[in-house]
Amino acid sequence: MKAREGDQLRFYSRHVDRPDRIAVILKVGAGGEPPYLVRIADGSEVVVVPGSDCVVLPAGDGASHGGDRG
């Protein structure tokens, strides 16, 4: 998984009655790899290492950044 600052990180909900969570990526590790510093909806900033329940959503129009996003 690779990301850039400004991308979003979507955490898929594990429960049918709860929505997915979205966080804005503030800082990335070397080469765009985790860990990521993110800001969640309540304004908290946390460091995360995303699991299989997360995807990176590119900032802007959703176009690829030209590199491997997987």
Q: What is the pLDDT of residues 6-43, one digit of tens each?
A: 999 999 999 999 999 999 999 999 999 999 999 998 99
- Is the per-residue pLDDT at 66 higher than 70? no
Residue with tokens 């979507």: 10
- Distance between CA atoms of residues 15 and 29, nearest Å: 30
**Two tokens, residue 17:** 């009655």
- Distance between CA atoms of residues 50 and 10, nearest Å: 9
Report yes or no: 57 and 24 within 8 Å, Cβ to Cβ.
no
Q: Where are the domains of the chain?
A: 8-57
- pTM assigned to the model: 0.79
Confidence category of residue 60, pLDDT binned at 50, 70, 90 = confident
